[in-house]
């Protein structure tokens, strides 16, 4: 006899099962009981996979809405699950010389946490505003992100099951969905950058694209000020509190691009522009003996807003035209470009100001 879960989806079956769409319509009729049944059986891989596939169907909107309402139950049975949520066949296994019961319990807990994050990812993808309207879920995701167990469990990645490795990708995609709505949550943006601190088998290029194109080039003046002030606080911390690699990535992906595209170059006619260049040249020659020289293109940035503008990278969207206040620009160059972080900034400087 074919198992029910294999008949409608799960291991060994196609994602385009002709029976699953009909089953979704049937389960929509009693969405509360359906959600409770699957949440209590997520420890079984076949049921967990079938539940994920069904929730992705366009017709499964009633199921998704019901799961959004019962997010606390989902969290209790997955991410925050304890032994009481596991069936007796796992917690009360007979002694086996080849399998340690505690190892099986720990592995099941890890799998349940991954299932919970996967389902939250499905819900946030279906409704990008859901996470922003549920702060407890966001705090839970951030707690999982900050948990050192996530790093130790996935090291080395070559010996880690693929679902556990993909958990990092699902987490960061959920946090990005949240930040696209809550654009002033700069602390979460800072945490996202930590994904580049360790080498991974997962391609996180999409995170760099988001930070450069949507944050550095897409945020409004007010939003960018909030981000820069939060980032500056972390840049001032020593290497014991914040890793230097984290600071470098923040400079490379957010701060330097934001400053580089802060204000477009003023449009002037050729005569006035030529006169201004000649005047600036005379002033620089008269002060060269007493003033430190900045790199040609970085000098404009140190002068304040309106002096620095670099051409956009190929394929990048047009940046939002805004001017950052002189306080932030001065702080950046005092503390970063020519201050305590000048060594880290020089690595980024070579890429952006050449």
- What tens digit of pLDDT does each residue of 289-327 get? 444 444 443 434 434 443 333 344 444 555 555 555 555
Residue 248 near residue 235, CB atoms below 8 Å: no
**Predicted local confidence at residue 179, as pLDDT:** 96
**Is residue 90, in this structure, part of any structural domain at all?**
no
Question: Among residues of the chain, what percentage have pLDDT more than 90?
Answer: 34
More confident residue, 274 or 157: 157
pLDDT digits (tens, 9 = 90+) for 80-98: 888 777 776 666 655 554 5
Non-local CB neighbours of 333 within 8 Å, separated by 6+ positions: 301, 302, 339
Compute the CA torsion angle 195, 196, 202, 208 (nearest 10 deg): 90
184-202 burial, b at 16+ Cβ within 10 Å, e below that, comes to ebbebbbbbbbbbeeeeee
Mean pLDDT of 176-203: 91
314 DSSP 8-state letter: T
**Predicted local confidence at residue 93, as pLDDT:** 57
Q: Does pLDDT of 61 surpass 70?
A: yes
Non-local CB neighbours of 6 within 8 Å, separated by 6+ positions: 12, 13, 46
Can you say whether residue 336 is alpha, beta or left, with left for phi > 0 and alpha for psi between -120 and 50 degrees? alpha
Number of domains in the chain: 1
175's tokens: 């946090």
**Is residue 333, in this structure, part of any structural domain at all?**
yes
Q: Does pLDDT of 244 surpass 90?
A: no
**Is residue 344, in this structure, part of any structural domain at all?**
yes
**Predicted local confidence at residue 175, as pLDDT:** 96
CB neighbourhood size of 331 (10 A): 17
**Predicted local confidence at residue 333, as pLDDT:** 58
Domain hosting 229: range is 183-266+298-354
**Is residue 316, in this structure, part of any structural domain at all?**
yes
Cα–Cα dist 231/247, whole Å: 9
**Predicted local confidence at residue 2, as pLDDT:** 45
Mean pLDDT of 211-240: 87
Residue 227: C-alpha distances to residues 73, 183, 214, 247, 324 (Å): 34, 9, 13, 14, 11
Q: Which of 232, 296, 295 is nearest to 258 (CA)?
A: 232
Q: Which of 302, 291, 306, 288 is nearest to 339 (CA)?
A: 302
**Is residue 63, in this structure, part of any structural domain at all?**
no
Q: Does pLDDT of 350 surpass 50?
A: no
**Is residue 254, in this structure, part of any structural domain at all?**
yes
**Is residue 59, in this structure, part of any structural domain at all?**
no
Q: What is the pTM assigned to this prediction?
A: 0.73
**Predicted local confidence at residue 300, as pLDDT:** 40
More confident residue, 341 or 41: 41
pLDDT digits (tens, 9 = 90+) for 203-225: 899 999 999 999 998 998 889 88
Mean pLDDT of 55-83: 92
Backbone phi, psi, residue 344, to 5°: -70, -40
**Predicted local confidence at residue 73, as pLDDT:** 94
More confident residue, 33 or 258: 33
**Predicted local confidence at residue 342, as pLDDT:** 53
**Is residue 105, in this structure, part of any structural domain at all?**
no
pLDDT band at 119 (very low <50, low <70, confident <90, very high): very high
Length of the chain: 354
More confident residue, 351 or 93: 93
Residue 164 near residue 118, CB atoms below 8 Å: no
262's tokens: 């802060």
The dihedral through the CA atoms of 260, 242, 246, 167 has a sign that is negative
Q: Does pLDDT of 287 surpass 70?
A: no
Mean confidence (pLDDT) of the chain: 75
**Predicted local confidence at residue 320, as pLDDT:** 53
């Amino acid at each position: 006899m074919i198992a029910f879960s294999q008949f409608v989806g799960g291991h060994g079956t196609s994602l385009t099962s002709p029976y699953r769409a009909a089953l979704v319509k049937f389960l929509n009729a009693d969405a509360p009981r359906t959600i409770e049944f699957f949440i209590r059986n997520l420890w079984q891989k076949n049921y967990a996979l079938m539940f994920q596939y069904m929730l992705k169907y366009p017709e499964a909107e009633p199921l998704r809405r019901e799961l959004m309402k019962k997010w606390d139950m989902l969290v209790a049975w997955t991410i925050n699950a304890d032994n009481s949520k596991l069936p007796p066949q796992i917690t009360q296994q007979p002694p086996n010389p080849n399998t340690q019961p505690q190892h099986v319990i720990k592995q099941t807990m890890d799998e349940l946490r991954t299932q919970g994050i996967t389902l939250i990812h499905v819900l946030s993808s279906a409704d990008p505003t859901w996470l922003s309207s549920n702060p407890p879920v966001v705090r839970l995701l951030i707690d999982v992100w900050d948990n050192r167990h996530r790093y130790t469990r996935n090291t080395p990645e070559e010996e880690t099951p693929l679902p556990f490795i993909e958990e990092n990708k699902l987490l960061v995609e959920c946090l990005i969905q949240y930040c696209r709505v809550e654009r002033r949550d700069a602390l979460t943006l800072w945490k996202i950058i930590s994904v580049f601190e360790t080498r991974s088998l997962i391609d996180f290029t999409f995170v760099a694209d988001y930070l450069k194109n949507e944050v550095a080039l897409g945020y409004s003046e007010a939003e960018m000020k909030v981000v820069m002030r939060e980032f500056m606080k972390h840049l001032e911390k020593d290497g014991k509190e914040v890793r230097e690699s984290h600071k470098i990535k923040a400079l490379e992906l957010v701060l330097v691009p934001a400053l580089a595209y802060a204000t477009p170059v003023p449009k002037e006619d050729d005569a006035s522009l030529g006169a201004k260049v000649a005047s600036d040249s005379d002033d620089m020659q008269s002060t060269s003996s007493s003033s430190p020289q900045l790199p040609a293109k970085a000098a404009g940035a140190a002068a304040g807003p309106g002096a620095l503008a670099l051409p956009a990278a190929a394929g990048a969207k047009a940046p939002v035209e805004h001017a950052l206040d002189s306080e932030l620009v001065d702080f950046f160059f005092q503390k970063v470009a020519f201050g305590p972080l000048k060594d880290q900034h020089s690595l980024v400087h070579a890429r952006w100001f050449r």
